[in-house]
Amino acid sequence: MSTQDPLPERPVVDPDVDLSLPAQRAETEGPGKWRVLAVIAAGGAAGATARYAATLALPAADDGFPWAIFAVNVTGCALIGVLMVLTVERGRITHPLVRPFLGVGVLGGFTTFSTYAADVSGLLARQEVATAMVYMGATAVAALGAVWAAAALTRALADRRGRTA
């Protein structure tokens, strides 16, 4: 029986790791952890600012469908699909701070579950049950569809580019 760690030799590139595995704790220990924290904070500020700008550009009426947050969450999920293919699956972006900055920071700050939940709660409080149910279901389906479609398209484009290079 082998006692070797089955984890790949590649370094971990994000802070949301399984901390019970010693091989995955490396970037959250030592002086380098502050760089990771700094890029996550900077990315989070940029993502949250972009989300706020989207809500200003596409404000919801008091009794309307929350289109801005719907669009933000679906777009963010699509971008996460692209990022995961390029960083995790294909290893095309290998700098160790890219995924924490873009994935955890920018896209984590851009997408929002709390505002989504507050929007649903507000719709229900105004007795707009049908709109709340459509919003809940449509967000889940569209977000999952977006991450899947974006990942599939990114894979196809990467494969095509690899054949022509």
Q: Is 145 annotated as a binding residue?
A: no
Contact 84, 151 (CB under 8 A): yes
Determine whether the annotation assigns residue 108 to a binding site: yes
Binding residues: 108, 111
Binding residues for Na(+): 108, 111
